[in-house]
Amino acid sequence: MGSEPRITKQELRDPARRADMLWDERAAAFEPFPVRVRALAEAADEVAHVVGLAELAGIPWKSRPEGRFGVEGPIPDAVREGPSELWHEFDHRVEVAERAAAATSTADVQMAFEALREILTAIADALDADR
């Protein structure tokens, strides 16, 4: 039975900070809309990756009840373009991510950010197809 490589909290600290900063920057960006949505999808992917590393390392998730994205999520209704059904699904996935962040399951947080990446990518693809 071989041992799996483990990552320590110390080794994960810098990538976790970068992923948090990337998410915050991308959520607040003022780039053209399809670019902003795709950039936010990439940030969600990075967060999911780092949280996945923490899960593999056995590092527990610390509950973040303050980690809400706001009433309208990271992209307000007033600036949304594209299919409304995708945005409805996005809103649902933001709620799931907020609940996961407020709880203690690292795996749930990883899955929530993977789901955000998927829906944001679908929205960006739809926007690109309309252009």
Two structure tokens written together for 22 = 């990337």
Is residue 4 in a domain?
no
Average pLDDT value for residue range 38-55: 90
Asked if the model's pLDDT at residue 115 lies above 90, the reply is yes
Confidence (pLDDT) at 22: 79
Give the helix ranges, DSSP H, for the chain.
Answer: 9-27, 33-57, 84-102, 106-130
Task: Say if 1 falls within a structural domain.
Answer: no
- Report yes or no on 79 lying in a domain: yes
Using a pLDDT cut of 90, give the percent of the chain over it: 36
Stretch 52-80: mean pLDDT? 75
Asked whether residue 2 is domain-assigned, the answer is no
pLDDT of residue 109: 92
**Which one-letter amino acid corresponds to residue 47?**
V
Please tell me the total count of domains within the chain. 1
Whole-number percent of the chain with pLDDT over 70: 85
Instruction: Say which residue, 8 or 37, is predicted with more confidence.
Output: 37
Distance of CA 81 to the CA centre of its chain: 20
Confidence check: pLDDT of 57 > 50: yes
Provide the residue type at 92 as one letter: H
- Single-letter amino acid code for the residue at 8: T
Mind listing the pLDDT tens digit for each residue in 68-93?
A: 554 446 777 778 889 999 999 999 99
How deeply is 110 buried, as exposed, middle or buried, from its count of CB atoms within 10 A (0-12, 13-18, 19+)? Answer: buried
Domain housing 37: 9-130
